[in-house]
Structure 1
Amino acid sequence: MNIQKYLKESSSYRVSGMIRIVGPDEPFLGPGRIELMERIAATGSINKAAKEMGMSYKKAWLMVQSLNRQAETPLIVTQTGGEQGGGAQLSETAQTLIQTYRELRQRFEAFLQQETRNLLRGE
């Protein structure tokens, strides 16, 4: 179907989308969870990562629990208080998962760009 014929003349229309991996009962992975994991890796803290994202600690903690619950092995490993305080770090599996998601996102972006070209050509 030619969608272009229904649009006002403009070359600024584009096809967009988002990649999310959803489990049978709850979301597993998407842009927000990837960002949270990346910020945990950078800061060593769920709390700091949440603050950087403008998210409550509780919401971030629930996301971490969800990620760990759905994965075969824990993705975010936490350490409670002590002399140096608590902290969090990503497992190797989490780092691999982030890279795999980035690669999937690149393929998806290429698909969206092709579909935008098709849209603008009236295909």
Structure 2
Amino acid sequence: MRERLDFQLRIRLDAIMLGPGKADLLDGIRETGSISAAGRRMAMSYRRAWQLVEEMNLYFGAPVAATLTGGKGGGGAALTPLGDQVLALYRSMEASCRDAIADDLAQLRRLRR
């Protein structure tokens, strides 16, 4: 079995945490066009997914996702420009950290007996 060494970036922004869960939720909203579908994809209830989106909305002072009212085709959601920026910045920080610790992770891997 191949060993997996990795890390998770969690950023404390005053009263909230921004980490892989919220980033994956934003990715899911972008990909599925739905908060509900994004939550289901993560084995998360719609209520919990909505709470996380609302938490980010409150922190940033503007919506990270815009909801579309239902109708014949149902409702939906899309990331706002702010949501796109939040996700892009988080993924950029994640990549920078991964690059910065790559050598150290390799050394940890070599220490395994």
Measured against the shorter chain, the TM-score band is: 0.7 to 0.9
Query: Aligned match of 1:100 in 69, 79, 89?
Result: 89
Preserved contact between residue 15 and residue 113 of structure 1 (Cα < 8 Å): no
SS state at 1:93 partner: helix
Q: Secondary structure at the match of 1:19?
A: coil
Distance between the aligned counterparts of 1:90 and 1:111, measured in 2?
29
1:10-36 deviation digits (Å, cap 9, x = unpaired)? xx9997432112222222x21111111
Q: In the alignment, what sits opposite 1:49?
A: 38
State the Cα distance separating 1:83 from its structure 2 match.
3.1
Contact 1:15 1:112 in 2 (8 A): no
The aligned residue for residue 16 of structure 2 is 26
State the secondary structure of the residue aligned to 1:74: coil
Superposition deviation, residue 67 in structure 1: 1.1
Equivalent of 1:72 in 43, 61, 72: 61
**Rg larger in structure:** 1
Name the Cα RMSD after superposition.
2.3
Unpaired runs of at least 5, structure 1: 1-11
Partner of 1:17: 7
Supply the AA of the counterpart residue of 2:26: M
Please state whether the residue corresponding to 1:114 is helix, strand or coil.
Answer: helix
> Is the contact between residue 40 and residue 88 of structure 1 (CA under 8 Å) also seen in structure 2?
yes
Give SS of 2:47's match. helix
CA–CA separation in structure 1 for the residues paired with 2:4 and 2:42: 27
Please tell me whether the aligned partners of residues 50 and 57 of structure 1 are also in contact (alpha carbons under 8 angstroms).
Answer: yes
Spell out, residue by residue over 1:47-76, the C-alpha distance to the aligned partner (whole angstroms, 9 max, x if none): 111111111111111101101111132111
Q: Specify the SS of the correspondent of 1:88.
A: strand
Looking at both structures, which has the greater relative contact order when contacts are Cα pairs under 8 Å and sequence separation is at least 6?
Answer: 1
